[in-house]
Chain A
């Protein structure tokens, strides 16, 4: 099993450009997440999905869009990139955390995408 894969690993964008960060998992997890990690800060949830066709906003959704057409894939779209979106982006997946008797399930993280917007 590949686990959670992300592409690309690195990307430099100019202000105003758009791009899609790809994320895929092969563990049949119904929950998928996108986080951003800024220097000296904790991971922040951008968007999440509880299953194909269902997505919802997290803590910092502005400037991003997501879609979930299959269980496996959860791409993150940046429209009109801004310097404030310079960050490391992590995709993660898990089983439904509400079904684990309170503990939640382990989240499996992808290797991350380092994005710089200049």
Chain B
């Protein structure tokens, strides 16, 4: 069993829809990171959080430490949001990132 599980693996939405991507983990963590990988391959960090909720523009990330679960929400989705979204946990034992397999999001106009 992977230490970091994401769902769904693939997600197709229409422009304007509300998107939710889920991440569950089974190890002790110090923090959880959400990253975005565009079709060209570049990876950028979106959020780092250890509790509660963070918001940046149309993106919202939440984490529930007790349930070992995090969600990434995109409001009013747009075709430019099409990318792979990756959940990664910073393990408290060694401060290394363990990555989920990613969720491929396609937003159609």
Residues of A that sit less than 8 Å from B by CB: 40-45, 48, 58, 88, 90, 92, 97-98, 102-104, 106-109, 111-112, 114
Contacts and interface: CB of A to CB of B under 8 A. Distances in A.
Contacts of A92: 43
A111 B99 CA distance: 18
Contacts of B96: 45, 48, 58
Contacts of B41: 88, 111-112, 114
Interface centre among B41, B44, B100 (most CB of A within 10 A): B41
B interface secondary structure, majority = strand
Interface of B: 2, 4, 30-31, 33, 40-45, 48-50, 86, 88, 90, 95-102
Contact of A109 (B2, B30, B42, B100): B42
Contact of A104 (B95, B99, B101): B95
